[in-house]
Amino acid sequence: MSKIALLVLVAASATVGACDGDDAPSTANTPQPAATAQPAAENRGIGIVQSVDAANGSLTVAHEPIAALGWPAMTMSFKVDRPALLEGVEAGEHIEFTLRGRDMSAVVTSIAEAK
């Protein structure tokens, strides 16, 4: 048997072996596209700034309940994703903010004066 005939026979056998009972090709060994990473959800909060620690890139906020996270009203410190967010923010200021993350290590991604 020639090499070409042997290759055709091997390829045909592999194709037949890859079919299931209804002659549909199997995708079990077919590479699937990688799942795209979903960005972490951002959640909104409202609160009063208790303190700002620009040197450590954080602020402490007494916030209202954040229903999307199941958090009650509490006072906690948050890191900010970039130091510029803290420019002009002062203790006593009523703010709206967004958080990226769902646990106590959530990071503030925006700060605005509350309306």
pTM for the full predicted model: 0.64
Domain segments of the chain: what residues? Answer: 1-32, 42-113
pLDDT in tens, the chain (115 residues): 555 544 445 455 555 555 445 555 555 565 555 545 445 568 999 999 999 999 999 999 999 999 999 999 999 999 999 999 999 999 999 999 999 998 888 999 999 999 8
Distance CA(89)–CA(113), nearest Å, equals: 9
CA–centroid distance for 64 within its chain: 23
46: number of Cβ within 10 Å: 16
> Which class in CATH covers the domain with range 42-113?
mainly beta
Contacts of 14 (CB under 8 A, 6+ apart): none
